[in-house]
Amino acid sequence: MSDDEQAYLVDLGLRIRDTRQKQKLGLDGLAELAEVHRTHLWKIEKGLLNTGLLTYVRIAEALDVPLAMLLPATRLLKPSLQKKEE
């Protein structure tokens, strides 16, 4: 995993944790609502785990926010994969 990808996961995890804390929801509470194991959620919030898309969807739904609100706006595509400007 590249440094940029790791930074993205850390930012995503912070967004999840901040949203959870603003709603005064504990880690256990969110884990139960999202049907994610507590340890799994803890690793996601710390940026230590890159999990499947549906897990992020369940977390967003449990927090009652759009998934897009949790996703950092950083582009991770390699320059060779980005559309070339003409």
CATH of the domain at 60: 1.10.260.40
What's the pTM?
Answer: 0.83
- 77 belongs to a structural domain: no
- Span 26-81, pLDDT tens digits: 999 999 999 999 999 999 999 999 999 999 999 999 999 999 999 988 666 555 44
What is the separation of C-alpha 41 from the centre of its chain, rounded to a whole number of angstroms? 10
Question: What is 35-68 written as a DSSP string?
Answer: T--HHHHHHHHTT-----HHHHHHHHHHHTS-HH
Domain boundaries, position 12: 3-70
Residue 14 lies in a domain: yes
Q: How many structural domains are present in the chain?
A: 1
In a domain, 37, yes or no: yes
Instruction: Kindly state whether residue 12 falls inside one of the protein's structural domains.
Output: yes
Q: Which of 56, 60, 48, 49 is nearest to 19 (CA)?
A: 60
